[in-house]
A and B are shown apart, each in its own frame.
Chain A
Amino acid sequence: MDSFTAIILAIFLPFAAAIFIPLLEKFLKHRIGWFAAGIAFLSFALIGIVAPEIIHGHIIQHSIEWMPSIGAEFSIYADGLAMMIGFIASGIGVIIISYSNGYMSHKEDLPRYYQYLLLFMGSMIGMVFAGNTLQLFIFWELTSITSFMLIGYWRGKPASIYGATKSLLLTAGGGLFMLAGFILLHTITGSYDIATILQNPAIIENIKAHPFFLITLILILIGAAAKSAQGPFYIWLPNAMEAPTPVSAFLHSATMVKAGIYLVARVHPIFSGTEAWFILVSGIGIFTMLLAGFLAFRQTDIKAILAYSTISQLAYMMTMYGYTSYHEPGLGVAAATFHLLNHATFKACLFLVAGIVAHEAATRDIRKLGGLRKDMPITFIIASIAALAMAGIPPLNGFLSKEMFYETSVEMGHIIGGPFTFLIPAAAVLGGVFTFAYSIKLIDGIFLGEKHHDHLPEHIHEPPYTMLIPAAFLAGLVILFGLVPSIPIHNIIEPTTAGIILEEVHLHVKLWHGLTPAFFMTLITFIAGLGIYTRYDKIAAWQDRFNARYPRISVNYYYDRIVDGAKGSAKGFANFTQPGNVKTYIYAILLLMVILFAIPAFMMATQVFPANLNFDIPLYEALIMTLMVSAAIAAATLHRYLAAVIALSTVGYLVSLVFIYLKAPDLALTQVLVETLSTIIFLLVIAKIPQTFKEKIPKTTLARDIVISSAVAATVLVLLLNATQGIVSPFESLSYYFLENSVPLAGGHNIVNVILVDFRGYDTLGEISVLCLAALGVYNLIHSRGEGE
């Protein structure tokens, strides 16, 4: 199998499998999760097939034609960065899906759950391997949508729906900004192709000198920040914790939230080495790192603590990717990348532990938990490993990447100079101190201390192996990467870094560096962290008081205001445009028709009534017309519904007679059938209502109706007269084309039908889709009536 096929399969296999999950569930029942895990493993293995090639420095690029009219191809760009996130998405996918087999109750709607998970995984893999920006955008939004589905998985809970909506509005909305950025990038470079831009120094120079540089950068960063919950956009991630815990572990700690970081890394070669890049990326990173790390203190739900911690940890990566200088644009890239990988291992592990605790102790409230070390010793060990790695304790992997963070912060401080020599390292240490404190809180609050017997079940035991082994596996990786860093460094971090800074790199990561500045910063972190930990509850209480006193200093407050306001104005708009009275709709349609047709007709016609009108009418034509006119008058004046309806149908049938006379059998047939059908519907309705018009129509209404109908009739008359006699169309009639090509191109003699199913088949496909939606809409309207208001 060649590399291109392998990657395409890795992307689309999860999509294809998702389609068959409901069917397979009939045979596999609750074991369907293992099938999904198998698919995830296949995707992982497929990426594994191409990995050696990428590790040796080769970038796999291939494209097939997709939308040639706008110059977009479906292309694959597989470098180290794509490989790493691809590995994380599929690898953590295997672990999470296996774990879900123990976590999800068999009573849940399992096919839907595993379908969404696989769709998400496919989208994520598709996004990282995307070779052009439009394709990246599409997969990007797909991850937002699948995340929306998974957060709202428990549809009955209002909190789930709130969280799901919030995440969709912010992440998918941010994606639109990113798209605008990509379009600007296309305006500057003339290409959507990532490889073309990245591998062409001249193009990158051109971008950096372009007046659109800053706005493009800002637009793309808004997308990245929204996706990775950075800056003011962080608010969606805590609410996303309403998702089932394996989903939080997968999407909202290890993979989807990394998409923004991935984007920053992907565009790094294009924008880095500029002041704007450092100020915007590191600026937002440092701000978010400190804010979210601090806000984690007052959270009581262990998943919420983990959510704030994730935001803060993502900000670490953001900050490091932002470190840049003219001479060394990729200063923090290796450190950020290593931290990205490490965070995926220890944070996913912590989420899995949170799931285990909630599963066994039936609560996630850290105030009620405590003393679980005796009941679940293995879980305690796993949790401690992961939490200590997050705190940055040697010899775990979190220690290594945090050291690198400190080192690069010192370097960056030196490059800028002035007060920043100390400020940047100080900010980094402060972030580390917060992380240290809440990491300790997690272990202490859940496992140490006394067990609160009044809140917790008497017998708490270890979870089933399906839940324990995935968590233990991740903890094993945490230790392995810490003790033998050369394995991830050589196989993943070096090729990834090379993919971002576009030159070969050799890294030397060791546990012991000597008495470097970073060593002392780590010491300060531990001491200050312990110090703050003793005041943990006091700080949390202060935060609560502060929040209560100043509710408006909260992004959530403004989010809710905007969303509720939007709902209000949408309601007003809907009430204005949809008054619910059929008559109003018909007025609007008819008046618009008069305006749209009458004005151009009067403007284009040389005279309203063409001079060469033909009054030589054959007898039967006159007969049909006379009948039609009398039937129409009858329909408008008769007082009994049944009679009026039959008169109306008569008009319709007479029209079809005219079609036959004009040699248009298709139209005639359609007209007869539609007329029959609508008569049947009328009869159905009439059976349920009084037989005669009861209400008296006011004179004013009558006058208005007469004016509108006359205007419509006059418009149509003028239009018809001029269409056949007066106006010489500036365009050649289309019908000749169809007459000539219907048989040679489509093999059909019935032009009407050939146009419908072949020449304009796309339209028809759209129309029948609308038809299906209309049918479902009718169903919903009928069945939702009486519920709610």
Chain B
Amino acid sequence: MTTLITKTITKICIPLVILFSISLLLAGHNNPGGGFIGGVMFASVISLTYVVFGLKYIKSFFNPSWDKWFGFGLLLSSLTAFGAIVYGYNFFRSSIKFVEIPLYGEIELVSAALFDIGVYFVVIGTLLYIFKNVGEDE
């Protein structure tokens, strides 16, 4: 599993896959994608590096606390849901806004997208947290 070929390909893949995962996350509302898929995509490429280069080596320079990621995600999603209450609507009521950006054109801002970003972080955080803990276990 740790041949030169896999190592090289993995290195090339990392930035591409991460960018793709972000684009899946942001495109999710109108095109295929979303927080869950984007998150799984992100988690797979990181776990691929764990497998190919070894957990110890990766951890020596890249070791985020994944528990904070899912904590943040859950907080963000919950706050989005609570946000509607602040404006006097029911829990979880979503809102849509169309905003004109110079040069780029019109974009759509949805409160549900924030919720989806929370899902994204939860999926990444939990999967990698589990992998890391299982991987570290002897």
Spell out A's residues near B (CB within 8 Å).
Answer: 665-666, 669-670, 673-674, 676-677, 680-681, 683-684, 687, 746-750, 752-754, 756-758, 761-762, 764-765, 768-769, 771-772, 774-776, 778-779, 782-783
Contacts and interface: CB of A to CB of B under 8 A. Distances in A.
A756 B36 contact: yes
Given A673-B37, A673-B40, A687-B1, A761 B29 contact: no
Q: Is the interface of A mostly helix, strand, loop or mixed?
A: helix
Contacts of B133: 778-779, 782-783
Given A673-B41, A680-B47, A748-B110, 15 more contacts: A677-B40, A680-B48, A747-B29, A749-B30, A750-B34, A752-B34, A756-B34, A757-B34, A757-B35, A768-B119, A772-B126, A775-B129, A776-B67, A782-B133, A782-B134
B43 A754 contact: no
Given A687-B1, A747-B96, A768-B118, A778 B130 contact: yes
B64 to A, nearest CB: 14
A684 B135 contact: yes
A779 B78 CA distance: 23
A683 B78 CA distance: 35
B92 interface: yes
Contacts of A775: 67, 70, 125-126, 129-130
Contacts of B125: 772, 775
B44 A753 contact: no
Contacts of B78: 765
Contacts of A681: 131
B112 A665 contact: no
B32 A750 contact: yes
A683 B30 CA distance: 35
Interface in B17-45: 24, 28-37, 40-41, 43-44
Contacts of B34: 666, 750, 752-753, 756-757
B44 A680 contact: yes
Contact of B28 (A750, A765, A772, A779): A750
Contacts of B51: 680, 683-684
A676 to B, nearest CB: 5
Contacts of B81: 761-762, 765
A677 B47 CA distance: 8
14 contacts: A673-B37, A747-B96, A750-B33, A752-B34, A753-B29, A757-B116, A757-B119, A772-B70, A774-B126, A774-B130, A775-B70, A775-B126, A779-B130, A782-B137
Contacts of A774: 126, 130
B74 A769 contact: yes
Contact of A771 (B30, B113, B126): B126
A677 B44 contact: yes
B15 interface: no
B42 to A, nearest CB: 10
A649 B78 CA distance: 35
Interface centre among A670, A757, A758, A779 (most CB of B within 10 A): A757
Given A758-B94, A768-B74, A772-B70, A750 B30 contact: yes
A709 to B, nearest CB: 28
What 8 A-B pairs are tightest by C-beta distance, nearest first? A747-B96, A775-B126, A748-B29, A665-B32, A749-B30, A753-B34, A768-B122, A673-B40
Nearest to A673: B40
B116 A753 contact: yes
B108 interface: yes
A753 B28 contact: yes
A40 to B, nearest CB: 27
B96 to A, nearest CB: 4
Contacts of B73: 768
A677 B112 contact: no
A764 B119 contact: yes
Interface centre among B36, B119, B129 (most CB of A within 10 A): B36
Nearest to B27: A750
B71 A772 contact: yes
A753 B38 CA distance: 12
B29 A669 contact: no
B47 to A, nearest CB: 5
Interface string B105-120: 0001010110110110
A754 B51 CA distance: 34
A523 B50 CA distance: 83
Contacts of B37: 666, 669-670, 673
B21 to A, nearest CB: 10
Given A746-B110, A772-B126, A677 B43 contact: yes
A394 B8 CA distance: 90
Contacts of A769: 74
A783 B133 CA distance: 9
Nearest to A778: B130
A621 B37 CA distance: 26
Nearest to A684: B51
B118 A747 contact: no
Interface in B90-111: 92, 94, 96, 108, 110
A764 B123 CA distance: 12
A332 to B, nearest CB: 44
B1 A683 contact: yes
Nearest to A781: B133
A758 B67 CA distance: 25
A781 to B, nearest CB: 9
Contact of A758 (B24, B74, B112, B135): B112
Given A670-B37, A684-B135, A768-B118, A749 B29 contact: yes
